[in-house]
Amino acid sequence: MVHSEMAALGHEQVTHFVDEETGLRAIVAIHDTTLGPSLGGTRLLPYESEDAALRDVLRLSSAMTYKAAASDLDLGGGKAVIVADPEAKTEEMMRAYGRMIDRLGGHYITSVDVNTGVADMDVLREETEYAVGTSDGLGDPSPITARGVFSGLRACVETTYGIDDLEGRSVVVQGVGKVGRGLAELVLEHGAEVTVSDVNEAAVAAMVDELGVDAVAPSDVYAEPCDVFAPCAIGGVINDETIPQLECDVVAGGTNNALQERRHATELKENGILYAPDYVINAGGLITVANEYFGRSREAALADAEAIGDRVLDLIERAEDRDITVLEAADEYAEERIAAGERGEAMPSTN
How confident is the model over 254-298, as pLDDT tens digits?
Answer: 998 899 999 999 999 999 999 999 999 999 999 999 999 999 999
**pTM score, whole prediction:** 0.90
Rg of the Cα atoms in the chain: 20
Point out the residues that are catalytic. Answer: 79
| List of long-range contacts for 91-95, beta carbons under 8 Å, 24+ apart | 91/123, 92/21, 92/22, 93/19, 93/22, 93/23, 93/24, 94/120, 94/123, 94/124, 95/22, 95/123, 95/124, 95/126, 95/127
- Give the HSE-up count for residue 18: Cα atoms under 13 Å, Cβ half-sphere: 3
Residues 6+ apart with CB under 8 A from 108: 28, 30, 37, 38, 39, 40, 78, 80, 101, 130
Q: 2-64+77-125, what's its fold?
A: Rossmann fold (3.40.50)
Residue 343 pLDDT level (bands cut at 50, 70, 90): confident
| Beta-strand relationship, 214-215 and 228-231 | unpaired
Q: What is the pLDDT of residues 231-259, one digit of tens each?
A: 999 889 999 999 999 999 999 999 988 99
Q: Which CATH architecture has domain 142-282+319-328?
A: 3-Layer(aba) Sandwich (3.40)
Mean predicted confidence (pLDDT) in 31-41: 96
Do the domains at 2-64+77-125 and 142-282+319-328 have one common CATH topology? Answer: yes
Query: Closest by alpha carbon to 36, among 66, 74, 78?
Result: 74
Please state the domain extents for the chain: 2-64+77-125, 142-282+319-328
Mean pLDDT of 307-333: 97
| Residues 341, 351: Cα–Cα separation, whole Å | 17
Beta partners for 43? 81
